[in-house]
Amino acid sequence: MDFSDLSKKLAHRGFIPVICKDKAEATQKILSLVPVDQTVGTGGSVTLAQLDVKTALAARGNVFFDRNAYQSAAHADWFLSSANALTEGGDIVNIDGSANRVSSLIFGVPNVIYAVGKNKIVKDLDAAIERIRNYTCHLNAVRLGKTTPCAVTGKCAYCTGKECMCNVTTIVHHPTRYQEKVYVLLIDEDLGY
């Protein structure tokens, strides 16, 4: 996939785009960016699990906080995530149930790395919301054993129950003033949901 136009748009917005040919290159890029003596946080991410980056970081000595230690993850030196969708214009869109991931992505953590497979790139914000609500959330609900309507039917019903996974929607247009570096790894593979 040709990421050159998207890469230019991301750079214009203040992100640091990095084009990776596959997940192995993306994992190596993350390892080269994150210093060994710094802490790393993450929310739940199938993409990061496919990169096996947590194992690689822990093996070399990084202190790693996952979504079960979300307060610590929110104060790490680095936060790793994917995106539920990335528009062709460069908007990064996520929908969360508990907001632990999106809060860390937009405030508190000085350095962020988004690892985004080519399957998550969509035309615009409407396509992003459609993709997340009627594809991503369904697969995550099934993976997590939820009983939400989307887990059963595959389509969003705009539910309001305790298991709802769509409580907070964020659209990141630019890095915030509190962030030092925000990398977007554009990976030429289908990864995650």
pLDDT in tens, 40-97: 999 889 999 999 999 999 999 999 888 767 788 888 999 999 999 999 999 999 999 8
Asked if residue 165 belongs to a domain, the reply is no
Asked if residue 133 belongs to a domain, the reply is no
How many angstroms from the chain centroid is the CA of residue 59?
22
Please state the domain count of the chain: 1
How far is residue 59's CA from residue 48's CA, in Å, rounded to a whole number?
15
At residue 127 the predicted structure's pLDDT band, cuts being 50, 70 and 90, is: very high
- Residue predicted with more confidence, 191 or 99: 191
How far is residue 9's CA from residue 69's CA, in Å, rounded to a whole number?
34
Q: What is the mean pLDDT of residues 149-172?
A: 92
Classify each residue of 140-170 as buried b or exposed e, where b means 16 or more C-beta atoms within 10 Å of its C-beta. Answer: bbeeeebebbbbeeeebeeeeeeebbbeebb
Asked if residue 182 belongs to a domain, the reply is yes
Asked if residue 167 belongs to a domain, the reply is no
Q: How do residues 78-88 score in pLDDT, each as one tens digit? A: 999 999 999 99
At residue 162 the predicted structure's pLDDT band, cuts being 50, 70 and 90, is: confident
* Residue 164 neighbours by CB under 8 Å, 6+ apart: 97, 148
Query: What are the Cα distances from residue 84, in Å, to 57, 94, 112, 124, 131?
Result: 23, 5, 15, 13, 8
Q: What global pTM score does this model have?
A: 0.95
How far is residue 15's CA from residue 95's CA, in Å, rounded to a whole number?
20
Asked if residue 60 belongs to a domain, the reply is yes
Asked if residue 110 belongs to a domain, the reply is yes
pLDDT surpasses 90 at 119: yes
CATH number at residue 114: 3.40.50.10420
Asked if residue 50 belongs to a domain, the reply is yes
- pLDDT of res. 177: 87
